[in-house]
């Protein structure tokens, strides 16, 4: 798909959403079913398989890769819900494309048999192509000192999508806001956050595969990271192409280069830096994804829960490898020069995409370093 995705990348940006034809090709290729339970029509592969696909898609289009990672990854998320909820959401065709905001800005109140949900939620990547939405909401009006909150799945028809995704990069993810007003959510489509935090989701007892016992924080740290690696690899490839078709500049020629950029020492250095950083990021990511899967194969049958420090370490390692991807793209842009900053050039798009991606809270080193350190020292202090 890489050539077609490259050719569509600019149109995808301009449309500020995943293109319908790309969504259809992902459906036809089974990409949304990679980590979906077999019982509900999925393939039940590991997160490592999802990441390999996302990396390749990202070599073509960073926005499409990000959106695929979110939507494809969230068929795993759906599998954590109560069984009756999964029966309903996966339906009769197992076709689930779920856009989410899991940070919990909404509010809900109890009704007989379920909840009434309201709120405004930002950054729902892929919401234009989704057939389900999932958002977080706090229970109010019951006088709790520390009110419980829930992840709730609703139909897109029960929400209004706002056209407010006008951003530096990752424009094609269409990560728009949605507004929900008094939607009824039956109990079966509400997943208590406390169970997620305790690694005791209903879903881990529905599906025997250890994949579904994976803690949310560890899974989400890795889920979209393939998009960053794909963007970095895309930039390296675009730069490599310049090596053999962009002529040397006057001052480079005066310094002894001739013909094309490949003969300029600083260009070769930037290319080597970019390539080795992007490839190192790829290796680290696939290793992290496999390590997580292997850990769960060990922990899940024994009923062992993952410690906060272990989870935080996945976050820290992913923030580190996204940083490598940012550096790779910076090298590519520096070597690409001003002619690669024109609208529609893959290098300028990769630059905007990777920088926007790097602002996501799960990749911000400031936050991930702090979260890891707090977990580490809390555990060390434990008697």
Partner 1 sequence: MTAAGAGGVAIGFDAAGRRVLTHPEAATITAEALLERARAMVPVLRERAPRCEAARQLLPETVADFERAGFFRICQPRRFGGFELGLDALEAVLIEVGRGCASSAWTLGILAGHAWWAAQFPEPGQEEIFGEDGVARLPTGIFGRGGRARRVEGGYELSGRWAYQSGCDAANWYGCGALLETEDGGQPEGITFIVRAADGYVEDDWHVLGMRGTGSKTVVVERAFVPERRAIFLKDVEAAETPGSKVHANPLYGIPLMAFISVEVTGAAVGCALQAAEALDELGRTKPVRARSGGGGETAARQMSLPGFRRRLAESKTLAETAKTLLLREAERVMDLGRETKAAGRKFTREEVAEITLRQARIIDLSVRAVDEAFAAAGTSATVTGHPIERCLRDVHMMSTHRVLSMDQAAETWGLAHYGL
- Binding residues (CB under 8 A) for partner 1: these are 102-105, 123, 136, 138, 147, 149, 166-169, 193, 197, 249-252, 255, 264-267, 270, 330, 333-338, 340-343, 348, 351-352, 355-356, 358-361, 364-367, 369-370
Count how many Cα atoms sit within 13 Å of the Cα of residue 239 in the half-sphere of its side chain.
32
Instruction: Report the nearest approach of partner 1 to the CB of residue 293 (Å).
Output: 25
Rounded Cα–Cα distance for residues 348 and 173 (Å): 17
What is the dihedral sign for C-alpha 166, 170, 172, 176? negative
Stretch (H or E) spanning 71: helix 62-78
Taking the least distance from each CB to partner 1, the nearer of 258 and 359 is: 359
Taking the least distance from each CB to partner 1, the nearer of 247 and 301 is: 247
Give the tokens for residue 339.
């002619």
Instruction: Report the nearest approach of partner 1 to the CB of residue 379 (Å).
Output: 17
Q: What residues contact 115, with CB distance under 8 A and at least 6 apart?
A: 108, 109, 137, 139, 150, 152, 184, 185, 187, 190
Taking the least distance from each CB to partner 1, the nearer of 142 and 366 is: 366
Question: For residue 69, what are the CA distances in angstroms to 56, 77, 147, 246, 379?
Answer: 12, 12, 31, 34, 32
Instruction: Report the nearest approach of partner 1 to the CB of residue 207 (Å).
Output: 24
Rounded Cα–Cα distance for residues 303 and 307 (Å): 13
Query: CA 314, 133, 211 angle in degrees (round to 5)?
Result: 35
In the block, residue with structure tokens 């009756």: 84
Taking the least distance from each CB to partner 1, the nearer of 103 and 287 is: 103
Taking the least distance from each CB to partner 1, the nearer of 297 and 364 is: 364
Question: For residue 247, what are the CA distances in angstroms to 239, 251, 255, 273?
Answer: 13, 12, 14, 21
Taking the least distance from each CB to partner 1, the nearer of 262 and 334 is: 334
Taking the least distance from each CB to partner 1, the nearer of 46 and 126 is: 126
């Amino acid at each position: 798909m890489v050539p077609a995705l490259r050719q569509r990348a600019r149109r995808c940006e301009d449309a500020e959403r995943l293109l319908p034809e790309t969504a259809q090709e992902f459906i036809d290729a089974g990409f949304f079913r990679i980590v979906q339970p077999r019982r509900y029509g999925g393939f039940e592969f590991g997160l490592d398989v999802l990441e390999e696909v996302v990396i390749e898609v990202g070599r073509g289009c960073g926005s499409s890769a990000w959106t695929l990672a979110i939507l494809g990854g969230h068929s795993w998320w759906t599998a954590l819900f109560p069984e009756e909820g999964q029966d309903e959401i996966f339906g009769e065709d197992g076709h689930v494309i779920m856009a989410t905001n899991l940070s919990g800005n909404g509010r809900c109140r109890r009704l007989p048999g379920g909840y009434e949900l309201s709120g405004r939620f930002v950054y729902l990547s892929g919401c234009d192509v989704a057939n389900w939405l999932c958002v977080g909401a706090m229970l109010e009006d019951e006088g709790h000192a520390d009110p419980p909150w829930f992840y709730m799945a609703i139909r897109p028809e029960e929400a209004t999508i706002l056209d407010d995704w006008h951003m530096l990069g990752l424009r094609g993810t269409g990560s728009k806001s949605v507004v929900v007003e008094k939607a009824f959510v039956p109990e079966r489509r509400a997943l208590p956050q406390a169970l997620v935090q305790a690694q005791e989701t209903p879903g881990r007892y529905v599906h025997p595969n250890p994949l579904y016992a994976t803690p949310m924080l560890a899974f989400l740290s890795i889920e979209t990271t393939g998009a960053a690696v794909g963007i970095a690899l895309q930039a390296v490839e675009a730069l490599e192409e310049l090596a053999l078709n962009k002529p040397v500049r006057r001052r480079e020629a005066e310094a002894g280069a001739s013909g094309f950029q490949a003969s300029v020492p600083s260009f070769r250095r930037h290319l080597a830096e970019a390539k080795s950083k992007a490839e190192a990021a790829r290796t680290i990511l696939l290793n992290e994804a496999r390590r997580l899967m292997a850990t769960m194969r060990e922990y899940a049958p024994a009923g062992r829960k993952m410690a906060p420090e272990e989870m935080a370490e996945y976050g820290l390692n992913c923030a580190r490898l996204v940083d490598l991807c940012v550096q790779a793209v910076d090298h590519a842009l520096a070597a690409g020069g001003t002619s690669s900053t024109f609208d529609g050039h893959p290098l300028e798009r990769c630059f905007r995409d990777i920088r926007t991606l790097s602002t996501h809270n799960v990749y911000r080193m400031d936050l991930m370093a702090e979260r890891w350190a707090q977990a580490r020292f809390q555990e060390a202090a434990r008697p």
